[in-house]
């Protein structure tokens, strides 16, 4: 290349600041020329014209209708480098102290090969939940490793992948035991006193609405009198003590109760597993397996059970099955989209979980292997023993001599001083009470840290060999992680290639648009992502003192303020760590509000039949009764039916949950009437805000009738899906519900309500992503993004309507940000199904749209604002080509059971095999409409789901099965 090209600019080159593209131009796919073409096709002159034509005038924010930006609290946007510089300033306001607070959060060393190739790699972090298993084999294998790791370490038969955090996993363990225990009808559940305070708080939140009575009890004194359906203990305890629970478990079983054990996975490399001690279920977190603390999250919780309970597991479970050629293949087993099918009968409301973080933890275990993990654990334990020895040597009493990594020191009246002295030495300890200090070691703890802590107590290290601290009856003898997945990738080269091999099997946003209705798979910009691995955000303990956390808390405050502005609500809580948890927190606020007004009998929740499945599941979790409201043939809520249901339940009406714009992809024009009718009857309005991408800058749920909404920051606000999590599901509320926003036992100044997540600010460390997005877009950019998303959805609706009829449109023939393509008639006439079309798209290099939700036999397409016209047209061309393939089936040219659609997806290998099909290999793998698009080879052929459910295998299959 000529150097000239790099250095010479035209003499007349204008000032860079005026030509440099603003970030909104990088985020938004269509440029002005493309946008003009899009608007031409949909027949509106301008984006503003689109706003008035699509959004009902009654709710369109007057301030935003073309004049001004209306979002007064949002800052003027800055470019990527300026935003990163501001974030660096905020980061510099945090102090990364040595964290020895413990309580379920430990500093950890993420292997750099994992940081760069998973956490910072869009092939992993931009992936969607693996509902299309044929193009998701990489992340499914990684999750199967996670399940195997958890099952091995806990001694359980089956683990899921994965839970939102340890505290919510404990709550799910409690409700699972209640479902599973057919022998006991008791409402009582025994919780040991030595559990983490945040775990206890979330258990209390969950128990009360379900009529479960928590019995706090020190189980070292045996079990309490009376009946109870379950017992929950922690291993090791919050105080650090390691207790042998075998007898307790046996006695609980004799009493007809089941037992859940919250277990630390690193400790389990040295300690006998709860499974071997007889536990029925294990729960916990995998944070310390290489996932940064991140001021509370995100990290993956886990839940593992004996096989008798495997069909009761909430969340996602990866299983092994076979594909159309009989080759082994992975898929989500049993509860795939469980909530959508079972709704109010679902086992839980968990949808988005923590897939990316589960994958990091699994790879951490693969990279270290059982011997590596054991030596990490041994080092952690030896640091704790040296600490204990030094303390005892200088006369400080410890609460126990049996511990793994955590020591509780008894210093009557001196605890505050000791913690302050340690702080001066750069170490954060846990102030348990005025007399007790907790100190937890982790893999980053050095002898110098131990010296600093001992110094804070006025003690020093002894010369003697510290005493053993693991009870001999509990020393682990069983093997774990013997599968090749945990022995083969111990060099960096091998791990690097393994990660690349896996991600190459998957379609993520780095390869194709992911046109998933309701899930808003938009750009996750690199500048938004960069700061998540900065240590000043990543290495903060959620209970670190405020003096260490000014920077991250200023991010929290900004995001809260900006979301208040965008939603029109009065206050926002960032604690819920998924949309489903936001629903739960919002409904709890409604419930507590009614109770506070002496109307606690209000317990009916109206939910339109089109709702996302989590809505009904969340309502049940807060003790509400679900009453379904019908939809009209045009997709709108049937207002007559709604009024009838309101009349019928007038005295007991608690709330309506309504998604806006609806999951049918239209702005219902009667939304204000609907809200008013519910309010008139004394009910509250929950607006599911998952579709906020169609509202930002145009209308505000807090102004058009909502009392509370959750938002999905992993949809509208650029947090990546990570293959099924992380998520952030904040709720906005109007002032009367503000006193009921989530609180936290270890943090004052939040809402007055109850804790719903383990950490005060949920998945705090990824709020920087949303912060950067809003900071770089500004009010004008956000509004343009919304309108572009609507324009692109309408463009697709226009282009595809004659090939696949668009099921629902609003008053002016417009859709919102997504559209539903109806294949039911085509299926009836030709036998070709939505599955066939979805799988066939993989042969064209595309990820399929949402299948059969919210209407069976349809595809829901959402392009988002981030896709440019070339990609949108390529998708439409592929869909149109697929339509002509369907016609060839319809005309009888190809038999319904042997054609490129039914045969899809086609692997390279399938082409190399004998070929006895009425279509050619070229038609199979290189259809004309593939055009110049890069060929993505699916890793497996169509997977037999039923086979996998009948023969449930949920851990790594033996290596022979790969033959
Ligand atoms: C995604 C979604 C949810 C659930 O959010 P999660 O973050 O997956 O828990 C709820 N409602 C609607 C309409 C959604 O699209």
Backbone Cα Rg of the chain: 28
CATH assignment, 782-950? 3.90.1150.10
Neighbours of 354 (CB within 10 A): 34
Q: What share of the chain is helix, strand, coil (3-state, %, to 5)?
A: 45, 15, 45
Cα dihedral: 408, 412, 415, 417 (round 10): -140
Query: Would you say the CB of residue 729 lies under 6 angstroms from ligand 1?
Result: yes
Are residues 543 and 764 in contact, defined by beta-carbon separation less than 8 angstroms? no
If one residue of 579, 721, 729 were mutated to test the ligand 1 pocket, choosing by the most ligand atoms within 8 A of its CB, it would be 579
| Predicted pLDDT at 6 | 41
Distance 947 CA to ligand 1 centre (A): 29
What is the end-to-end Cα distance of the chain in Å, rounded? 49
**Domain over 535-775 is classified CATH 3.40.640.10:** yes
- Intervals of CATH 3.90.1150.10 along the chain: 782-950
Distance 727 CA to ligand 1 centre (A): 10
- Which backbone phi and psi does 216 adopt, to 5 degrees? -80, 130
Residue having the nearest C-alpha atom to atom 6 of ligand 1 = 579
Query: Which residue positions in the chain have pLDDT lower than 70?
Result: 1-20, 62-70, 335-338, 961-963
Closest to 428 in 3D by CA, of 540, 544, 288: 544
- Indicate the DSSP class of residue 271: B
- Intervals of CATH 3.40.640.10 along the chain: 535-775
Distance 553 CA to ligand 1 centre (A): 26
Residue having the nearest C-alpha atom to atom 2 of ligand 1 = 690
Distance 613 CA to ligand 1 centre (A): 8
The helices-and-strands tally (H runs, E runs) of the chain is 31, 25
Query: Residue written as tokens 């497996």?
Result: 940
Closest to 698 in 3D by CA, of 23, 71, 39: 71
If one residue of 688, 713, 728, 860 were mutated to test the ligand 1 pocket, choosing by the most ligand atoms within 8 A of its CB, it would be 688
**Distance (Å, whole) CA 934 – CA 747:** 51
| Predicted pLDDT at 344 | 86
Residue having the nearest C-alpha atom to atom 4 of ligand 1 = 579
Query: CA dist 427 to 156, 307, 378, 422, 747, Å?
Result: 36, 43, 22, 5, 20
Residues 6+ apart with CB under 8 A from 119: 110, 125, 356, 360, 532, 533
If one residue of 352, 617, 722 were mutated to test the ligand 1 pocket, choosing by the most ligand atoms within 8 A of its CB, it would be 352
| Predicted pLDDT at 493 | 98
Distance 848 CA to ligand 1 centre (A): 18
**Distance (Å, whole) CA 348 – CA 208:** 16
Query: Would you say the CB of residue 690 lies under 6 angstroms from ligand 1?
Result: yes
Neighbours of 909 (CB within 10 A): 13
State pTM to two decimals: 0.97
| Predicted pLDDT at 946 | 86
């Amino acid at each position: 290349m000529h150097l000239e090209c790099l250095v010479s600019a035209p003499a007349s080159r204008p000032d860079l600041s005026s030509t440099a593209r603003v970030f909104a131009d990088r985020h938004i796919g269509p440029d002005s020329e493309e946008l003009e073409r899009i608007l031409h096709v949909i027949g509106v002159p301008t984006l503003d014209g689109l706003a008035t034509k699509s959004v009902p005038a009654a709710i369109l924010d007057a301030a935003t209708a073309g004049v001004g930006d209306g979002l007064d609290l949002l800052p003027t946007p800055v470019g990527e480098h300026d935003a990163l510089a501001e974030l660096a300033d905020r980061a510099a306001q945090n102090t990364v102290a040595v964290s020895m607070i413990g309580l379920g959060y430990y500093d950890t060393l993420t292997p750099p090969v994992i940081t760069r190739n998973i956490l910072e790699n869009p092939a992993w972090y931009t992936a969607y939940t693996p509902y299309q298993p044929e193009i998701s084999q990489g992340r499914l294998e990684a999750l199967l490793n996670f399940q195997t790791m958890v099952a091995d370490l806990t001694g359980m038969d089956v683990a899921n992948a994965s839970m939102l955090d340890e505290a919510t996993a404990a709550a799910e363990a409690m409700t699972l035991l209640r479902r599973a225990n057919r022998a006991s009808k008791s409402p009582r559940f025994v919780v040991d006193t030595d559990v983490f305070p945040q775990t206890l708080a979330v258990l209390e939140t969950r128990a009360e609405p379900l009529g479960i009575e928590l019995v706090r009890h020190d189980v070292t004194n045996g079990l309490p009198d009376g009946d109870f359906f379950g017992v929950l203990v922690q291993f090791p305890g919050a105080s650090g003590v390691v207790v042998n629970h075998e007898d307790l478990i046996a006695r609980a079983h004799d009493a007809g109760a089941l037992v859940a054990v919250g277990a630390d996975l690193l400790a389990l490399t040295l300690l006998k597993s709860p499974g071997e001690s007889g536990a029925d279920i294990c729960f916990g977190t995998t944070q310390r397996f290489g996932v940064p603390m991140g001021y509370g999250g995100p990290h993956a919780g886990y839940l593992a059970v004996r096989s008798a309970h495997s069909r009761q597991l909430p969340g996602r479970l990866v299983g092994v099955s076979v594909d159309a050629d009989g080759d082994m293949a992975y898929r989500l087993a049993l509860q795939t989209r469980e909530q959508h099918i079972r709704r109010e009968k679902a086992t839980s409301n968990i949808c988005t979980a923590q897939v990316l973080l589960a994958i990091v933890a699994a790879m951490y275990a693969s990279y270290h292997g059982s011997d590596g993990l054991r030596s990490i654990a041994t080092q952690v334990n030896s640091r704790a023993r040296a600490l204990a020895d030094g303390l005892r040597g200088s006369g400080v009493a410890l609460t126990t001599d049996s511990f793994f990594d955590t020591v509780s020191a008894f210093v009557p009246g001196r605890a505050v001083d000791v913690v302050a002295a340690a702080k001066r030495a750069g170490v954060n300890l846990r102030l348990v009470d005025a007399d007790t200090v907790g100190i937890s070691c982790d893999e980053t703890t050095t002898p110098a840290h131990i010296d600093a802590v001992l110094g804070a107590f006025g003690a020093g290290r002894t010369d003697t060999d510290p005493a053993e601290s693991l009870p001999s009856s509990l020393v682990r003898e069983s093997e774990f992680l013997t599968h090749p997945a945990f022995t083969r990738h111990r060099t960096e080269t091998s791990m690097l290639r393994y990660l690349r091999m896996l991600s190459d099997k998957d379609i993520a946003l780095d390869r194709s648009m992911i046109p998933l209705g309701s899930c808003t798979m938009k750009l996750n910009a690199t500048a938004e992502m960069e700061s998540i691995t900065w240590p000043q955000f990543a290495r903060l303990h959620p209970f670190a003192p405020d003096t260490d956390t000014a920077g991250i808390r200023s991010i929290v405050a900004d995001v809260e303020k900006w979301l208040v502005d965008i939603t029109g609500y009065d206050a926002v809580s960032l604690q819920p760590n998924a949309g489903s948890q936001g629903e739960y927190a919002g409904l709890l606020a409604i419930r507590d509000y009614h109770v506070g007004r002496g109307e606690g009998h209000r317990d009916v929740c109206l939910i339109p039949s089109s709702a996302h499945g989590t809505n009904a599941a969340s309502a049940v979790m807060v003790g509400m009764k679900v009453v379904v409201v019908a939809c009209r043939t045009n997709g709108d809520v049937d207002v007559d039916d709604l009024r009838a249901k309101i009349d019928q339940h007038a005295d007991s009406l608690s709330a309506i949950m309504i998604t806006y714009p609806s999951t049918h992809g239209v702005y219902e024009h009667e939304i204000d009437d609907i809200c008013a009718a519910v309010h008139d009857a004394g009910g509250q309005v929950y607006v599911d805000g998952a579709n906020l991408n169609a509202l930002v800058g145009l209308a505000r749920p807090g102004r058009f009738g909502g009392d509370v909404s959750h938002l999905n920051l992993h949809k509208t606000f650029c947090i990546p899906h990570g293959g099924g999590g992380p998520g952030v599901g904040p709720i906005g509320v109007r002032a009367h519900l503000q006193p009921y926003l989530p609180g936290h036992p270890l943090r004052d100044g939040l809402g007055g309500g109850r804790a719903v997540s383990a950490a005060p600010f949920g998945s705090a460390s990824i709020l920087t992503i949303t912060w950067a997005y809003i900071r770089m877009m500004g009010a004008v950019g956000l509004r343009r993004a919304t309108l572009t998303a609507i324009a692109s959805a309408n463009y697709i609706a226009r282009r595809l309507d004659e090939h696949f009829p668009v099921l629902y449109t609003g008053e002016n023939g417009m859709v919102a940000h997504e559209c539903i393509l109806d294949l039911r008639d085509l299926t009836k006439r030709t036998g070709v199904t939505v599955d066939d079309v979805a799988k066939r798209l993989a042969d064209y290099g595309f990820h399929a749209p949402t299948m059969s939700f919210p209407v069976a036999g349809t595809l829901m397409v959402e392009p988002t604002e981030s896709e440019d016209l070339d990609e949108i047209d390529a998708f439409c061309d592929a869909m149109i080509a697929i339509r002509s393939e369907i016609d060839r089936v319809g005309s009888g040219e190809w038999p319904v059971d042997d054609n490129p659609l039914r045969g899809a997806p086609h692997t390279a290998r399938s082409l190399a095999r004998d070929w006895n099909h009425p279509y050619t290999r070229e038609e199979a793998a290189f259809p004309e409409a593939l055009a110049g698009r890069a060929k993505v080879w699916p890793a497996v052929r169509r997977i037999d789901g039923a086979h996998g459910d009948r023969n449930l295998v949920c851990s790594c299959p033996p290596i022979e099965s790969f033959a």
